[in-house]
Amino acid sequence: MGAKDRTRDFMKQAIELARRNVNGSNGGPFGAVVVKDGKVIAEGNNQVTSLQDPTAHAEVQAIRKACQALGTFDLSGCEIYSSCEPCPMCLGAIYWARPARVYFGATRQDAARAGFDDDLIYSEINVAPERRKIPMKQIRLDETDSVFSAWNSKEDKIRY
Amino acid sequence: MGAKDRTRDFMKQAIELARRNVNGSNGGPFGAVVVKDGKVIAEGNNQVTSLQDPTAHAEVQAIRKACQALGTFDLSGCEIYSSCEPCPMCLGAIYWARPARVYFGATRQDAARAGFDDDLIYSEINVAPERRKIPMKQIRLDETDSVFSAWNSKEDKIRY
């Protein structure tokens, strides 16, 4: 089987997880898998409403499970297949996990047409913090900077 | 005590969580609290390296704990205080949780100077998916669209 066929198969597996969510009551219609060395090492499906966890998107769940499986906080060399373009939260999670590559199916606009805020959140990122729909305001105290300087001097820190 | 003083106190509590992380070995120097009706209902500190979970940022942990405490996936009416500007992952998590307002201490540039990728990830969002440092490619299959149409027709779905 060629590389292109395998890519389609992994994507189909992510979509199948999304489809099961339509039939069940875990959360939104999204699925994702993490692949390493040509094998699926973790599956994730959206569990926002069933776990009462707004961060339990398919990609986040798959990344967390893959890290548990591998015993690391770093997914270097892995690929992530998601049934839909990652929202900003999941995109951030992907950058922190550092896989080699991501494949996605539907787009943020498709998600918006199904009632999800992915596209809205992408738009909000480029709005000044205080003018966002959720206003965000900086409060800099004397203590604010001292934490980073202490971190910079910490000798036994684990970088990520 | 005035509203401004209380805001400073909640921010100090978030920074204190960050400071404890500098002294301990949980993860990066970041802390956050969720406040409802003038009381802290959840604390979060970065636990990326100790939990081997790249999504375990302070804001994400605080949001998860607050939702568990309230038994909901929605933080309407709450405020979030974070020792540092939320990264794109945490910003996305905040939009999905829908608090009323966010206060943050340090900036993404401060985080970058301490060796964290927050600012880099913000830059990557505006790069075309295939040209990102982690390349992201769309693969649209016949099944891709059918999941959202099935979701749109689902009568007992729980929206979030």
DSSP string, chain B: --HHHHHHHHHHHHHHHHHHHHHSSSSSS-EEEEEETTEEEEEEE--HHHHT-TT--HHHHHHHHHHHHHTSS--TT-EEEEEEPPPHHHHHHHHHH--SEEEEEE-HHHHHHTT--HHHHHHHHTS-GGGSSS-EEE---HHHHHHHHHHHH-TT----
Q: Cβ contacts (< 8 Å) between B51 and chain A: which residues?
A: 73
Q: Cβ contacts (< 8 Å) between B35 and chain A: which residues?
A: none
pLDDT at A156: 93
Q: Is there a catalytic annotation at residue A59?
A: yes
> A51 to chain B: nearest residue by CA?
B73
**Which tens digit of pLDDT belongs to each residue from A28-58?**
999 999 999 999 999 999 999 999 999 999 9
> To the nearest whole percent, how much of chain A has pLDDT over 70?
99
And the tokens for A40? Answer: 């699926």
pLDDT at A135: 98
ipTM tops the 0.90 cut = yes
Q: State the average pLDDT for chain A.
A: 96
Residue B1 has pLDDT above 70, yes or no: no
Q: How many CB pairs under 8 A join A and B?
A: 282
Cα A4–chain centre separation: 24
Residue A11 has pLDDT above 90, yes or no: yes
Q: What is the mean pLDDT of residues B11-22?
A: 97
Which of A59, A96, A156 to probe by mutation at the B interface, max B CB count within 10 Å?
A: A96
Residue A132 has pLDDT above 70, yes or no: yes
pLDDT band at A5 (very low <50, low <70, confident <90, very high): confident
pLDDT at A2: 75
pLDDT at B93: 98
**Which tens digit of pLDDT belongs to each residue from A65-92?**
999 999 999 999 999 999 999 999 999 9
Q: What is the mean pLDDT of residues B112-116?
A: 94
CA distance linking residue A157 with residue A147, whole number of Å? 13
Q: Are A86 and A104 in contact (CB under 8 A)?
A: yes
pLDDT at A3: 77
pLDDT band at B72 (very low <50, low <70, confident <90, very high): very high
**Which tens digit of pLDDT belongs to each residue from B135-152?**
999 999 999 999 999 999
Residue A111 has pLDDT above 90, yes or no: yes
One-letter amino acid of B125: I
